[in-house]
């Protein structure tokens, strides 16, 4: 296929869902009712839903077959063993603890290892990860390389951890106060950017020197492995599965949302090697999720994930996946629209602060752009900026490092013509960017405010 430029989706469509083509006027009403928060909009009012790639992908014929096979025995179901085998084929950790999604794994782990006085560094904490760390009274610190903070700067592994900064951090805080170092692959909040194997090895070496365990937030592990395969010296000839296993071998544990590279609509897990930690986590699991052989999941979900994990490491799939995200990003870049570059794995991130310099970060340029894309073209993206990260536990508010709008691509869901429509709408809105105005927040909850805050447009 290397001869041809067209990205051929490596699947045929087997069953379809209708998209309702609503009007601008209908979307204006929907926005007003939702307090200009796109999380509050009815999905039926959306034409192309790029809010998230999490749990929104299409499952394969073989995953649906797995759903039928699902065994709902309370304990020791064959579906649990199918799940365990699939997870450990890629991530051979001693203990695998199934959860209903990634944040449940985070909640359990940080309840066990967090608490006041503790600090958890990460390349960039995802919002739920940060919130779960902070909820225990611990501190969540981002230590991505400086290139990872500059949207326009090209670097093949912009998600890498700043290893020197990590060493300083561990020296200053003291290893006893750092129960784990995290690395998020790919780095979602930093633009879906990959982490190299070399960087993981270097982080591992620092962790070993300080005697601190290393955990992966591995939601997009297959996409990360594909970037390693494509970009890292000496890796192009290796099977993806080998690269994934090498990443896993460098860590002491992981948290996972199977709604991403598990190719499933729900699910996740926590995996660790440490027996005592596993026991503490399983006890918490029983309190909040369920028995250790199903966690928060039905047997049918465990089967869908078991099959999804076999499909996600397929090279034809990953070539299509990463190629089609780059197709959107490259088209926007060539139109002069500022985006995070190079294009990440699961999403294109528009730099709203650069596109709308007349909107102060504390008037939320990302929110203004996301609302405009929805109003004009029914495209739902997600603000990743000052709305999401600007409010701090002490109540203060500061601009986030970047104000981005993420257009996340659900797996195996939209075709190239859907994406061509997105390109047309984004160009149209960007050309009229100077007409857009900022927002103020009228109501917000104490944490994770972006999900439920209500906004008001400024004049």
Ligand X SMILES: Cc1ncc(COP(=O)(O)O)c(C=O)c1O
Residues in contact with ligand X by the rule CB under 6 A? 54, 101-103, 126, 128-129, 184, 188, 217, 219, 257, 259, 268
Beta-bridged to residue 99, according to DSSP, are 268
Question: With respect to ligand X, which residue has the nearer C-beta, 177 or 288?
Answer: 288
Residue 94: half-sphere exposure toward Cβ, Cα within 13 Å? 9
Nearer to ligand X by Cβ, of 103 and 173: the residue is 103
Q: Which residues of 331-357 are buried (b: 16+ CB within 10 A; e: fewer)?
A: bbbeeebbbbbbbbbbbbbbbbbbbbe
Instruction: Give the C-alpha separation, 38 to 30, whole Å.
Output: 9
Q: CB of 104: closest distance to ligand X in angstroms?
A: 7
Q: Name the residue among 39, 19, 41 with its Cα closest to residue 30.
A: 41
Q: How far is the CB of 209 from ligand X (least distance, A)?
A: 26
Shortest Å, Cβ 259 to ligand X: 5
- Least Å distance, CB 384 to ligand X, is 10
Choice between 27 and 450, CB closer to ligand X = 450
User: Closest separation between CB of residue 435 and ligand X, Å?
Assistant: 32
Residue 268 CB, nearest distance to ligand X (Å)? Answer: 5
Compute how many other C-beta atoms are within 10 angstroms of the C-beta atom of residue 398: 12
CA dist., res. 365 & res. 375, Å (int): 15
- Beta carbon nearer to ligand X, 240 or 258: 258
Q: How far apart are CA 255 and CA 96, in angstroms?
A: 10
Residue 34: which H helix or E strand, with range? none
DSSP letter string over 74-136? Answer: SSS-HHHHHHHHHHHHH---SEEEEESSHHHHHHHHHHHH--TT-EEEESS--HHHHHHHHHT
Q: Smallest distance from the beta carbon of 57 to ligand X, in angstroms?
A: 13
**How many whole angstroms separate alpha carbon 107 and alpha carbon 131?**
9
CB nearer ligand X, residue 102 or residue 438: 102
Buried b (16+ CB within 10 A) or exposed e, 360-379: ebebbbbbbbbbbbbbebbb
Smallest gap from residue 161 Cβ to ligand X (A): 14
Do 409 and 324 touch, CB atoms closer than 8 A? yes
Nearer to ligand X, 52 or 363 (CB): 52
Nearer of residues 179 and 345 to ligand X, judged by Cβ: 345
CB nearest ligand X: which residue?
A: 102
Specify the residue, 381 or 433, whose C-beta has the smaller distance to ligand X. Answer: 381
* Sign, CA torsion 240/243/245/248: negative
Residue 126 or 317 with smaller CB distance to ligand X: 126
Q: Which is nearer to ligand X, 27 or 158 (CB)?
A: 158
328 — alpha (psi -120 to 50), left (phi > 0) or beta? alpha
Q: How far is the CB of 101 from ligand X (least distance, A)?
A: 3
- CA–CA dist 245, 169 (Å, integer): 28
Angstrom CA distances, 431 to 85, 153, 301, 435, stand at: 51, 23, 44, 9
Shortest Cβ 3–ligand X spacing (Å): 35
Residue 127 burial (C-beta neighbours within 10 Å; 0-12, 13-18, 19+): middle
């Amino acid at each position: 296929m290397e001869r041809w430029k067209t990205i051929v989706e490596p699947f045929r469509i087997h069953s379809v869902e209708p998209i309702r083509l609503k009007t601008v006027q209908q979307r204006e009403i929907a926005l007003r009712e939702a307090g200009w928060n796109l999380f509050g909009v009815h999905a039926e009012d959306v034409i192309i839903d790029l809010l998230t790639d999490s749990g929104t992908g299409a499952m394969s014929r073989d995953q649906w077959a797995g759903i039928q096979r699902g065994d709902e025995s309370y304990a020791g179901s064959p579906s649990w063993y199918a799940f365990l085998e699939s997870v450990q084929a890629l991530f051979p950790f001693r203990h695998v603890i199934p959860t209903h999604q990634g944040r449940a794994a985070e909640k359990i782990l940080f309840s066990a290892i967090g608490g006041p006085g503790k600090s958890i560094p990460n390349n960039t904490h995802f919002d739920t990860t940060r919130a779960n760390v902070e909820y225990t009274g611990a501190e969540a610190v981002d230590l991505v390389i400086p290139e990872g903070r500059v949207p326009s700067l090209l670097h093949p592994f912009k998600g890498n951890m700043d290893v020197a900064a990590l060493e300083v951090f561990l020296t200053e805080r003291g290893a006893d106060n750092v129960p784990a170092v995290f690395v998020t692959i790919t780095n979602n909040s930093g633009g879906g950017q990959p982490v190299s194997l070399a960087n993981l090895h270097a982080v591992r070496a620092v962790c070993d020197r300080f005697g601190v365990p290393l955990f992966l937030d591995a939601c997009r592990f297959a996409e990360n492995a594909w970037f390693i395969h494509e970009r890292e010296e000496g890796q192009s000839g290796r099977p993806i599965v080998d690269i994934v296993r090498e990443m896993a071998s460098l860590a002491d544990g992981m948290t996972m949302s199977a709604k991403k590279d598990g190719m499933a609509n729900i699910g996740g897990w926590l995996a660790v090697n440490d027996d005592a930690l596993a026991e503490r986590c399983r006890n918490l699991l029983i309190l909040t999720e369920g028995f250790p052989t199903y966690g928060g999941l039905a047997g049918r979900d465990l089967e869908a994930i078991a099959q999804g994990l076999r499909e996600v490491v397929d090279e034809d799939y990953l070539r299509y996946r990463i190629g089609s995200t780059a197709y959107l990003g490259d088209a926007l870049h060539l139109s002069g629209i500022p985006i995070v570059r190079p294009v990440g794995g699961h999403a294109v991130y528009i730099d709203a602060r650069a596109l709308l310099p007349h909107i102060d970060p504390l008037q939320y340029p990302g929110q203004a752009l996301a609302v405009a894309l929805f109003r004009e073209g029914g495209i739902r993206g997600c603000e990743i900026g000052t709305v999401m990260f600007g409010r701090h536990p002490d109540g203060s508010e500061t601009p986030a490092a970047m104000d981005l709008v993420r257009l996340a691509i659900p797996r195996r869901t939209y075709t190239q013509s859907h994406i061509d429509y997105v390109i047309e709408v984004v160009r149209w809105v960007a050309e009229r960017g100077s007409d857009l105005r900022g927002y103020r927040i009228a109501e917000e909850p104490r944490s994770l405010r972006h999900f439920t805050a209500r906004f008001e447009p400024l004049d």
